[in-house]
Structure 1
Amino acid sequence: MKATIERATLLKSLGHVQSVVERRNTIPILSNVLIEASDNGAIRLTATDLDLQIVETIAGDVEIPGATTVSAHTLFEIARKLPEGSQVQLNAADGRMAVNAGRARFSLATLPRDDFPMIAEGELPTSFELPAASLIQIIDKTRFAISTEETRYYLNGIFLHVTDDADPMLKAAATDGHRLARVTLPRPAGAEGMPDVIVPRKCVAELRKLLDESGSNAIQIDLSASKIRFTFDSAVLTSKLIDGTFPDYSRVIPTANDKLLKIDPKSFSEGVDRVATIATEKTRAVKMALDKDKITLSVTSPENGTAAEEVPGSYSDDSFEIGFNARYLLDILGEIEGDTVELHLADASAPTLIRENDKSPALYVLMPMRV
């Protein structure tokens, strides 16, 4: 194989593929990227960790078509350190690959392409398109609530499912047991009858990177009960889905919380952030005392002292106190885009519903803390 690729093109593509490759591998070939150069000047780069696979096609000048595999992280680091604007020549033969650019010369070990594993996709019967902006909204407004507890593996992703209500919807939800985030969108054509699926956290992270560079195009999504594939202009991301049952989260969304606080999310989150400065890493608890149109945020830390701040808000119900994990509250407030956020409260031990308004596609549920 012999091909020449512009450094910026190669670097951008390797940036996508090398982040799929795990740093530590017991199977050497999984550390490698598969490079396939074809007659028509298309060069395909593929990387996998056996659960997630990315294939990206870039343009280059192919002298001799062929294929080989080489260390993904090493090639990425080389491309990163080469001078801007340089042309990178890849020349593979006899178990080595020469990488030449300007005055720099590298010779890397390769492994045969026949050993490289590909994810067998099988039949992906459900097929629909989503605008890139909708996918970005789904990911950004839910992924902070994905659980990182490996024992509750079925919570380690975003749950996608459709409903057949009067207005058919596509819903995305994530929870770690302390907070829940859900986004609701009109169901796209082709998604009817789709199986409930849980998209793993790593796939979500790689998908979000690709979306940043995709512009405003629609993304093709194909899925079955066990796999999902996202097709971009030049990249295809395929992932196994989490094999588990997501809990019935609708049961924890409160419907009868009768105390309503309306507050500016920016001044609210700045206030929470300031008083939380002295909260200990272990508790992160902020107490919120609600009075008529007056909200007092306070933190008491045995080691560090106390902090309090009043923030303006609209509240007309009975006064009471409730505590929240500051980090969780700030994560949610960071995703509110409007000038007001509604907190629907019941009492100090019941879950609180947080949303922009009743028309907003995103809603959040936060469990209180004892303070």
Structure 2
Amino acid sequence: MKATIERAVLLKSLGHVQSVVERRNTIPILSNVLLDAREDGSIRLMATDLDLQVDESVPATVAQPGATTVSAHTLFDIVRKLPDGSQVELTAAEGKMQVVAGRSRFNLSTLPRDDFPVIAEGELPTRFELPAATLREIIEKTRFAISTEETRYYLMGIFLHVVDDQLRAAATDGHRLARVTVPRPEGADGMPDVIIPRKAVAELYRLLEELEGTVEISLSATKVRFGLGSAVLTSKLIDGTFPDYNRVIPTGNDKLLKLDPKSFSAGVDRVSTIASEKTRAVKMSVDRDKVTLSVTSPENGLATEELAADYGSDGIEIGFNARYLMDILSEIEGDTVEVHLADAAAPTLLRENDKSNALYVLMPMRV
């Protein structure tokens, strides 16, 4: 194989694929990126961890078609350090790949492309499109609630499913729940309920940051493929059943508190400075037209802050994990957040208003 490619193009594409590669691998070829120089004047780059795969085709001048695999992180670091605007010449033969740019020359060890594993997609019967901005918003508003607890593996992703004429995305870690609803795209009816794993969500979000236009989504009960312009992300899905989260969304919380989400979050952040790392508990005392935030710490002392609010029900005291509360408030874009309360032990519902496509549920803490 022999090809020449612009440094910026190669660097951007390597940035897309190399983050899939785990730093430590027991299977050497999984540390590598597949480079396939093709007669049509493009290089295809592909990386995988056996559960997730990203491949992308970029323009290049191909003198001799061929394919090889080379350490993804090493090649990325080399290209990153090459001068701006340089042309990178890649030549592979007899178990080595030479990388030449200007006066820089590297000889890297390679592994044969035939050993490189590719995820077999199988049939992907459900196909639909979503605007990149919509998919980005869905991930943004739910990903913070994805669980990191290995024992509850079925919560370690975003649950995507269709309800009537809506496409819904939900994530929960048992302490908080985030749900976003968008109109059901054409072609999504009859779609199986799927759980997209945490790592695939993170990689997808990175690829969406630079993408305009639409994303083509194809899926079965076990695999999903996202067509993202010149890149394609394919992932296995989590094999598990997501719990019926609708049971924890409160419908009878009749105490309505309205306040500015930014000052609310800043106040929580300030008083939680003295909270112990373990609990991060902040107490909210809600009264007519005001909220008093307080944190009591045996080691550090006491902090309180008063906020103006719109509230007309009976007074209530309730405690929350400060970090969880701030994560939710950071996703509220308007000037008001509605906090629907019941009592100190019941789940609390938060949303921008009743027309918002996102809602959040937060479990209280004892304080």
Q: TM-score, normalised by structure 1?
A: 0.99
Match of 1:173 in 2: 170
2:120 paired with 1:130 = no
1:177-201 deviation line (CA, Å, top 9, x unaligned): 0000000001000000000000000
2:331 paired with 1:366 = no
Match of 1:86 in 2: 86
Matches within 5 A, 1:106-255: 106-164=106-164, 168-215=165-212, 217-255=213-251
Letter in 2 for 1:18: Q
Q: Considering only aligned residues, what root-mean-square deviation do their CA atoms show, in Å?
A: 0.4
Q: How far is 1:246 from its partner?
A: 0.1
Letter in 2 for 1:260: L
| Number of equivalences | 367
Match of 1:12 in 2: 12
Matches within 5 A, 1:291-330: 291-330=287-326
Q: How far is 1:40 from its partner?
A: 1.4
Match of 1:67 in 2: 67
Match of 1:28 in 2: 28
2:258 paired with 1:257 = no
Q: How far is 1:280 from its partner?
A: 0.9
Work out the CA distance in 1 between the residues paired with 2:66 and 2:316.
Answer: 71
Q: Aligned to 1:286, what secondary structure does the other structure show?
A: strand
Equivalent of residue 345 in structure 1, options 341, 348, 358:
341
1:29-58 deviation line (CA, Å, top 9, x unaligned): 000000000111111000000000011000
1:33-87 deviation line (CA, Å, top 9, x unaligned): 0000011111100000000001100001100000000000000000011111111
1:262-308 deviation line (CA, Å, top 9, x unaligned): 00001101100000111111010000001100100000000011100
Work out the CA distance in 2 between the residues paired with 1:294 and 1:227.
Answer: 49
Q: How far is 1:233 from its partner?
A: 1.3
Work out the CA distance in 1 between the residues paired with 2:186 and 2:106.
Answer: 50
Q: Aligned to 1:129, what secondary structure does the other structure show?
A: strand
Letter in 1 for 2:169: A
Q: Aligned to 1:73, what secondary structure does the other structure show?
A: helix
Letter in 1 for 2:27: I
Letter in 1 for 2:183: P
Work out the CA distance in 2 between the residues paired with 1:180 and 1:93.
Answer: 53
Match of 1:51 in 2: 51
Work out the CA distance in 2 between the residues paired with 1:366 and 1:212.
Answer: 28
Q: How far is 1:108 from its partner?
A: 0.3
Letter in 1 for 2:295: V
1:67-123 deviation line (CA, Å, top 9, x unaligned): 000000000000011111111110000100000111111000000000000000000
Work out the CA distance in 1 between the residues paired with 2:246 and 2:84.
Answer: 52
Percent identity between matched residues is 77
Q: How far is 1:320 from its partner?
A: 1.4
Work out the CA distance in 1 between the residues paired with 2:312 and 2:211.
Answer: 46
Q: How far is 1:350 from its partner?
A: 0.2
Letter in 1 for 2:202: A
Work out the CA distance in 2 between the residues paired with 1:342 and 1:8.
Answer: 46
- Stretches of structure 2 that go unaligned for 5 or more consecutive residues are none
Q: Aligned to 1:33, what secondary structure does the other structure show?
A: strand
1:330-362 deviation line (CA, Å, top 9, x unaligned): 000000000000000000000000000000000
Work out the CA distance in 1 between the residues paired with 2:93 and 2:251.
Answer: 66
Work out the CA distance in 1 between the residues paired with 2:250 and 2:32.
Answer: 48
Work out the CA distance in 2 between the residues paired with 1:171 and 1:40.
Answer: 40
Letter in 2 for 1:143: R
Q: How far is 1:232 from its partner?
A: 1.4
Work out the CA distance in 2 between the residues paired with 1:83 and 1:305.
Answer: 54
1:156-190 deviation line (CA, Å, top 9, x unaligned): 000000012xxx10000000000000000010000
Letter in 1 for 2:113: R
Letter in 2 for 1:20: V
Equivalent of residue 270 in structure 1, options 266, 270, 276:
266
Q: TM-score, normalised by structure 2?
A: 1.00
1:233-253 deviation line (CA, Å, top 9, x unaligned): 100000000000000000000
Work out the CA distance in 2 between the residues paired with 1:247 and 1:214.
Answer: 32
Q: Which runs of 4+ in 1 moved over 4 A?
A: none
